[in-house]
Amino acid sequence: MQAIRHRHSTFFNVVLLTLLFAGTIMPSFVNYAYADASWPASPPAAVCTDPRLLSGPSVAPDGAVIVPAGDNGGFDFNRPGATFWFEPGTHTLADDIYGQIQAKANTTYIGAPGAILDGRNNNLYAFTGDVPNVTIQHLTITNFGRGNDNNNEGVVNHDAGTGWTIQYNTISNNDGAGVFLGTDNVVRYNCLKDNGQYGFSMYKPPIEGDSAIKNIVLDHNEIAGNNTDNWEAQIPGCGCTGGGKFWDVEGAKITNNYIHDNKGTGLWADTNNIDFLIEGNWIDHNDGEGIWYEISYNATIRNNTISRNAWVSGNNNQGSPGPAIYLSESGGDARLASTVSGAPKIRIYDNSFIDNFSGVSIYENANRFCNSNGNTSTGYCTPFVDPTIIPDTGRSYDYPNPISDAHPCYTDIASEPYKTDCRWHASNIEVNNNEFHFDENVVPCAGTYCGVQALIATGADNIPWSPYTVAGIQEDVMFGNHNRFHDNQYVGNWRFAQGYGEAVSFNTWRSAPFSQDRNSTFDGDPDFGGSSGGTPSAEPAAPAANDLDADSATLEDSIGKWQNWYSASVTQSAHEANSGTHSLRIDVTDPWGWGAALSNWPGFSTTAGLKKLSFWGKLGSGTSLQPRMIVKWLDSNNMVLQTNELKSPALTAEWQQSSALVDAPEGASTVLVSLIGSGNPGDYLYLDDMVVGDAPNALDADTAGGEASAGLWQSWYSASVTASTYEAHRGTGSLRVDVADSWGWGIVTANWPGFTASAGNKRVSYWAKQGTGSLSEVTLRVKWFDRSQTLLQTDLIPLSGLSTNWQRADANIAAPNGTANVYLEIYSPSGAPGDSLYLDEIVIADSN
């Protein structure tokens, strides 16, 4: 068999040299990116369209066992150490779902040109067996799985065997992952395309104190179009789709691959991956992040071209940045291996980023740590605690309880070294010497995170035994964990998110306390801010809604419905006007008081809710004239439910406004308005711009109450928000929040830095009620920003003791001087998956 292998190796050398000189592929020393090299200018591995590269030998190697085309269900593959050569044509296996080739140790499987191993959407797996040193090459392996099969399983190397080499194959249109990887695997020059879940993935049971899989090479593969079965839709939140996924691996070289158009993340390394090199790849147009490195350590990401990623995920989940590279609870640690990566850090340098939804996001969740049910990699701990795997027996999966009440990441978590070592940290990260290009005319932006770099942390302070707080983790991520951006080049109007995700301009990002991106250049507006398209400009306040008809309110075309009531003469006047050209003139005829009324009893149609009463007055003649607006709210039976009075200060020769906010009572159907006052015969006054109507709200109608859509609300974490017609406090719709996780949830508005606002007294209120489950509390957080997007003030409006009845929270708040915008977040530490909450009539109104 040594002779056979030697001849086979010589054959491949000839093929490779021929292709190299023909220009079909580039030699590794050209694309192999070192620190002083550049990123690829074109895809380095367009394998799927290169039959010369994929086609195997047309003649069986010496000593090879020939596998005839056709039905191989009864063929004897039980020959350890053999080389099998598959003839041209289609090969099939046994008819049952477990018809498969059970690989044997030290065995090679080679396909002739046109050799296809076809599962016929009947067999589940192609090559199985936890045996070492298997080689599979030059085969087309397709149609394994019956549709939606093989979730978290692989078709080739199903059992993640050691020492496998998988090269020059087309592995496409299979369920699950096209290829599984194990220790000392080499996967190179393959077309991994259009598979149901991943192009490649891997899993081995965890090993206490060690990595489950070691030493992987993934080189010159084309990985495209995978996740055709859309597993994220079938299992929401599974985190189980994309081009490929690494799990619990030490030592991986991912070089010179072409990773594109996958229906999920391009490359995803999840859970205790250590010592990775990601170099020389072309990562383009994946629905999700280009690269996601999650609760993992020590990686170098350099000399890659990363373009047009996360357009879909950025729009679908606007509460998350949708970055080209997502570093989630990952960082550098000198206690772990860094032979492959070259340094005990996460280093991102010499990459080209082009029109991704956003750039590099460094993130940490305060609730994700060993032994917390907020850790979605259940049962795994960091490499620094003993045990690193929480025993299966005695586990609790009830949030916020610990998984194990005997593990030191519960019993001793408040003391060192456990307080440090029980967490995965976003730390020791360096992002430098990259080019970041962003064109908002190209990227389909939505939400608050489009075109940002991020240093953020979120979570909820709702695990009583946790020594960590959101504020503390935010402080660490932004200032204490040695995370640095520097010497980058920015083209376009980038923004920079910090804290919970509030964005700041480049100038603010570079200044204290952040002091990021020293020596970086910025080809854009360095004071740029706003949600997705420019520095926010002042917008005129929306005109107040008015239950009164236009003429009764403004007198422009007629006197409207005003009439004499007693001791006064009322007329339309063109002599004075606060706005427009006319006003209402009231001449006093008797000394015992006067009145004017509307001639439309029982009044104008109205609804319950927060209302603004307002009018403008000016003195004509007389002294101490103080007109009053009397507002009566009637039900459908014309019974008076409530009366409100708005009194003007003494009128002067200048127009002055009187206004107030009132709550029209439940059941209000009409509103009847009259004007009264005192004076003497010969006195007269002018009134204009009279308003009785819904209080002008800083929020648009849908954001306030979900009448037609969810407005600008979006998921922030662990929740979805939709418009619902199932419940409504007012109108026909409300906002429904559905909880996805047990560790708290949040929603935010997708218009940072928020709605146009101004300084002054405000009335802030909202209504809420339980849907399903037992959500007990909710809080509206209101943030006031100035024109430079500097946070001036934060106010909290909590509501506790929620029930299945509508309840209101309200507060009178003074927005600080300099306010230009108001931004909203709604969150709660309570709730469990399946719980829901309804919100309605969210109002921020001027009460001046």
pLDDT digits (tens, 9 = 90+) for 394-428: 899 888 899 999 999 999 999 999 999 999 999 99
Q: Is 550-694 CATH 3.65.10.10?
A: no
Specify the pTM: 0.75
pLDDT band at 13 (very low <50, low <70, confident <90, very high): very low
* Confidence check: pLDDT of 501 > 90: no
Whether residue 244 contacts residue 208, with contact meaning beta carbons closer than 8 Å, is answered with: no
Indicate where the chain has its CATH 2.60.120.260 domain(s). Answer: 550-694, 701-846
Residue 609, classified by CB atoms within 10 Å of its CB into exposed (0-12), middle (13-18) or buried (19+), is buried
Instruction: State both tokens at 436.
Output: 């970041």
The reported pLDDT for the residue numbered 20 is 32
The reported pLDDT for the residue numbered 793 is 92
The reported pLDDT for the residue numbered 31 is 32
The reported pLDDT for the residue numbered 785 is 87
156 to each of 124, 142, 792, how far by Cα in Å? 10, 10, 57
The reported pLDDT for the residue numbered 848 is 67
| Phi, psi (rounded to 5 degrees) for 772 | -90, 160
Assign 3-class secondary structure to 171-189: EECCCCEEEECCCCEEEEC
Strand partners, 673: 631
Q: Which amino acid is at 547?
A: D
pLDDT band at 19 (very low <50, low <70, confident <90, very high): very low
Smallest CA-to-CA distance from 399 within 375, 377, 417 is with 375
Smallest CA-to-CA distance from 366 within 527, 475, 228 is with 475
For the chain, the residue count is: 848
The reported pLDDT for the residue numbered 315 is 86
Instruction: State both tokens at 98.
Output: 């477990």
* Confidence check: pLDDT of 28 > 60: no
Residue 700, classified by CB atoms within 10 Å of its CB into exposed (0-12), middle (13-18) or buried (19+), is middle
pLDDT band at 718 (very low <50, low <70, confident <90, very high): confident
Whether residue 830 contacts residue 777, with contact meaning beta carbons closer than 8 Å, is answered with: yes
Whether residue 496 contacts residue 503, with contact meaning beta carbons closer than 8 Å, is answered with: yes
Q: Which residues contact 387 (CB under 8 A, 6 or more apart)?
A: 208, 209, 381, 407
CATH fold of 701-846: Jelly Rolls (2.60.120)
Task: Report the distance separating Cα 120 and Cα 284, nearest Å.
Answer: 31
Instruction: State both tokens at 819.
Output: 């306010």
Instruction: State both tokens at 796.
Output: 């909290």
Mean pLDDT computed over 134-143 = 98
Mean pLDDT computed over 645-654 = 95
Task: Report the distance separating Cα 395 and Cα 389, nearest Å.
Answer: 12
Mean pLDDT computed over 251-278 = 98
The reported pLDDT for the residue numbered 529 is 65
* Confidence check: pLDDT of 541 > 50: no
What is the DSSP track for 767-813? EEEE-SS---EEEEEEEEE-TT--EEEEEEEEEES--SS-EEEEEEE
Q: Please list the alpha-helical segments (H only) found in 23-89.
A: 28-31, 51-54
CA atoms within 13 A of residue 455's CA, in its CB half-sphere? 28
Q: Each residue of 53-84: pLDDT tens digit?
A: 999 999 999 999 999 999 999 999 999 999 99
* Confidence check: pLDDT of 532 > 70: no
Task: Report the distance separating Cα 703 and Cα 725, nearest Å.
Answer: 14
The reported pLDDT for the residue numbered 239 is 86
Q: Each residue of 446-460: pLDDT tens digit?
A: 777 899 999 999 888
Task: Report the distance separating Cα 636 and Cα 507, nearest Å.
Answer: 58
Instruction: State both tokens at 489.
Output: 């080049």
Omega of the bond leading into 513 within 30 degrees of 0 (cis): yes
First-residue to last-residue Cα distance in the chain: 91
Cα angle: 13, vertex 258, 31; to 5 degrees: 55
Residue 724, classified by CB atoms within 10 Å of its CB into exposed (0-12), middle (13-18) or buried (19+), is buried
Mean pLDDT over the full length of the chain: 90
Task: Report the distance separating Cα 510 and Cα 496, nearest Å.
Answer: 10
Instruction: State both tokens at 112.
Output: 């002739």
Instruction: State both tokens at 603.
Output: 């009044």
Most confident of 21-35, 323-337, 689-703: 323-337
* Confidence check: pLDDT of 536 > 70: no
Least confident span in 495-499, 651-655, 720-724 = 495-499
Whether residue 622 contacts residue 682, with contact meaning beta carbons closer than 8 Å, is answered with: yes
The reported pLDDT for the residue numbered 26 is 34
Whether residue 186 contacts residue 154, with contact meaning beta carbons closer than 8 Å, is answered with: no
The reported pLDDT for the residue numbered 528 is 78
Task: Report the distance separating Cα 58 and Cα 114, nearest Å.
Answer: 9
Task: Report the distance separating Cα 801 and Cα 824, nearest Å.
Answer: 22
Whether residue 44 contacts residue 26, with contact meaning beta carbons closer than 8 Å, is answered with: yes
* Confidence check: pLDDT of 163 > 80: yes
* Confidence check: pLDDT of 538 > 50: no
pLDDT band at 543 (very low <50, low <70, confident <90, very high): low
Mean pLDDT computed over 536-550 = 63
The reported pLDDT for the residue numbered 636 is 94
* Confidence check: pLDDT of 274 > 90: yes
Q: Which residues contact 15 (CB under 8 A, 6 or more apart)?
A: 53
pLDDT band at 305 (very low <50, low <70, confident <90, very high): very high
The reported pLDDT for the residue numbered 24 is 34
Task: Report the distance separating Cα 7 and Cα 83, nearest Å.
Answer: 12
**Which has more pLDDT, 744 or 227?**
227
Q: Are strands 821-828 and 755-756 parallel, antiparallel or unpaired?
A: antiparallel
* Confidence check: pLDDT of 576 > 80: yes
- Report the SS3 class of residue 2: helix
Of all residues in the chain, the percent with pLDDT exceeding 70 is 94
Mean pLDDT computed over 786-806 = 89
Cα angle: 174, vertex 357, 318; to 5 degrees: 90
Whether residue 505 contacts residue 496, with contact meaning beta carbons closer than 8 Å, is answered with: yes
Q: Are strands 191-193 and 222-224 parallel, antiparallel or unpaired?
A: parallel
* Confidence check: pLDDT of 706 > 70: yes
Mean pLDDT computed over 813-825 = 93
What is the DSSP track for 431-499? EES-EEE--TTTS---SS-TTEEEEEEE--S--TT----HHHHHHIIIIIS--EEES-EEES--EEEEE
The reported pLDDT for the residue numbered 320 is 76
The reported pLDDT for the residue numbered 237 is 77
Instruction: State both tokens at 249.
Output: 């691996």
Task: Report the distance separating Cα 272 and Cα 252, nearest Å.
Answer: 12
Smallest CA-to-CA distance from 259 within 316, 306, 311 is with 306
Task: Report the distance separating Cα 712 and Cα 722, nearest Å.
Answer: 10
